Amino acid sequence: MAVFALYVQSSTYACPTLASVLRFAKAALLQHHQLDHIFFYQDAVQAIVAGIDLPADEPDSAALLIAFCQQHDIPLLYCVTAAEKRGFATAAAPARAGFIAAGLAEFAMRLDAVDQVVQF
């Protein structure tokens, strides 16, 4: 059994990044691996936007990922600096429930507890 950290930096709405992260997370747990956390950085912090207006035929992949991670106690961390630079996670528009503000230092410290990092 391996312990994974998932590092997401790709845009989360321009491509199927969140669906890929969710598929990998489910497959890892089915194979009895562990997920220590999922960290969102750079353009991936788009996932934390609470009031995103998606087309009616597009699933809310962020909500699906949040529900899965809550069910399995997997922390969803996001880089607060990357979010602030992009105008997300402000006092007027807080991050979507289920996401936890963190920084690169916390991400780096948590890597001591994992065997592998998978980047999306």
46 and 86 in contact (C-beta within 8 Å)? yes
The per-residue pLDDT for 118 is 98
The per-residue pLDDT for 58 is 78
Q: Domain total for the chain?
A: 1
Say which residue the tokens 């920084």 belong to.
103
Q: What is the pTM of this model?
A: 0.93
The per-residue pLDDT for 89 is 80
pLDDT per position as a tens digit, 49-79: 887 777 777 788 999 999 999 999 999 999 9
CATH number at residue 47: 3.40.1260.10
89 and 101 in contact (C-beta within 8 Å)? yes
The per-residue pLDDT for 91 is 76
Q: How far, in Å, are 4, 38, 118 from residue 11 at the CA level?
A: 21, 15, 16
Domain housing 94: 3-119
The per-residue pLDDT for 100 is 96
Rounded to 5 degrees, φ, ψ at 105 are -65, -45
- Exposed/middle/buried for residue 22 (C-beta within 10 Å: 0-12, 13-18, 19+): buried
pLDDT per position as a tens digit, 72-119: 999 999 999 999 999 888 777 889 999 999 999 999 999 999 999 999
